[in-house]
Structure 1
Amino acid sequence: MAKHRAPEGAATDFDAATSALADVTGKYSVDVAHTRIGVRARHAMVTTVRGSFTEFAGTAYLNAADPAASSVELRIATASVDTGVPDRDAHLRSADFLDVERFPEITFRSTDVEQVDVEVYQVTGDLTIKGVTRPVSIDFTLTGSALDPFGNLRVGFEGALAIKRSEWDLTWNTVLDTGGVLVSDRVQVEFDVSAIKVS
């Protein structure tokens, strides 16, 4: 992924004023340093465990005049899962869950983009986890667009996706003595995306 440096004499304060842009059409690259892909699931039926993937890459083509002509592609390194607890992360990387040795990436490739509100776009595509590919739809909200102090045109999106992990062969679990299971089947994936226009 290309590095974006401030031109000589440019402001370095990201709090400097930026201006919203009317037309954001173009090809974009996800800015990993300012993007978060989070996950959360219920644990032992009583609390929520949160984590994130820290290594990923993504591209998008945005067409403001014809949203259906837009497209998105995302690749996530499964070994980068991080919940803040090393033992738990090691278990998530094992064959019980993500099996990172055999399946090093989670991928998403869009098949359709539809504008459903002024700033909301429904992105439908193929999500592949552990070699299983299934269609999903994610509603993304355009949170802003601006020319940053380094001269980069940026756009921001937020979205969330709820999946049943068992549908992607993520079936490991333990039954609790008090009823229920240790890990919920439902997993929430959260996207806070900043992308930079590259052409």
Structure 2
Amino acid sequence: MTIMTTLSELTGDYVLDTARTRIGFVARHTMGTRVRGRFDVFEGRAHLDGGDPSKSGARLTIQAKSIQTRNEQRDEQLSSKFLSAGDHPAITFTSIAVDQVGETTFKVTGDLTIRGVTKPVTVNFELTGAENDPQGDLRVTFQGGVTISRSDWGVNWNVATSAAVGGKVRLELDIAVIRQA
């Protein structure tokens, strides 16, 4: 993928390209193994201001029930017991600050809401590409991540189960957005 010559060329309003975006996570499980998963249903919007990235912003909504770890029983347990998707169907992130820290790297601070609990997090992102697709639409891609402590959001089920799952969860974001006309 090609990166544009200047950030100012990226200025505009964008919608999340859900077919090319991956919202994943990694958590340590018993015996040192790791559980990797993703969310399959989400939507989002962003405004990029290449001239002044601090004026950029984004909003993401994830359907908690769409969690997938390739194990149906575990997915049901994570959805219902850990994430309480029946009572809290959406996980949301709303940016409150964007800081450019390198030529193509950014820190995006925002409010992350899980299980009805909102806490600030800062996600490190790298602009990985920008190009026009065959339809002439500008697509911009970012990779990012942040490690959170699930207990900060009350993501626990019971003491025995919580001890079997590590307290830290790494959120992995491969984001693709399409500029709106």
Aligned equivalent of 2:20: 34
Matched, 1:53 2:35: no
1:183 to 158, 165, 173: 165
SS in 2 for 1:60: strand
Matched, 1:80 2:62: no
1:196 to 173, 178, 181: 178
SS in 2 for 1:184: coil
Unmatched segments (≥5 aa) in structure 2: none
Structure with max Cα Rg: 1
Give the percent of matched residue pairs that are identical in Structure 1 and Structure 2: 44
Cα separation, 1, equivalents of 2:172 and 2:56 = 21
Question: Per residue, is there more helix in 1 or in 2?
Answer: 2
Trace 1:75-114 onto structure 2 (pairs within 5 A).
75-94=61-80, 96-114=81-99
Question: How far apart are 1:172 and its partner, in Å?
Answer: 2.5
Question: How far apart are 1:47 and its partner, in Å?
Answer: 0.5
RMSD: 1.5
Letter in 2 for 1:188: R
Aligned equivalent of 1:121: 106
Matched, 1:166 2:137: no
Letter in 1 for 2:137: N
Matched, 1:130 2:115: yes
Contact 2:17–2:177 (CA<8 Å) still a contact in 1?
A: yes
TM-score of the superposed pair, with normalisation by structure 1: 0.86
Matched, 1:44 2:44: no
Unmatched segments (≥5 aa) in structure 1: 1-17
Question: How far apart are 1:93 and its partner, in Å?
Answer: 1.2
Cα separation, 2, equivalents of 1:120 and 1:37 = 19
Cα separation, 2, equivalents of 1:135 and 1:47 = 28
Deviations 1:136-176 (A, max 9, x none): 00111000111111211010000011000000011235549
Letter in 1 for 2:123: I
TM superposition outliers: structure 1 runs of 4+ over 3 Å? 173-176
Cα separation, 2, equivalents of 1:93 and 1:145 = 34
Deviations 1:20-50 (A, max 9, x none): 4331000000100000000110110411010
Cα separation, 2, equivalents of 1:50 and 1:113 = 28
TM-score of the superposed pair, with normalisation by structure 2: 0.94
Letter in 2 for 1:43: H
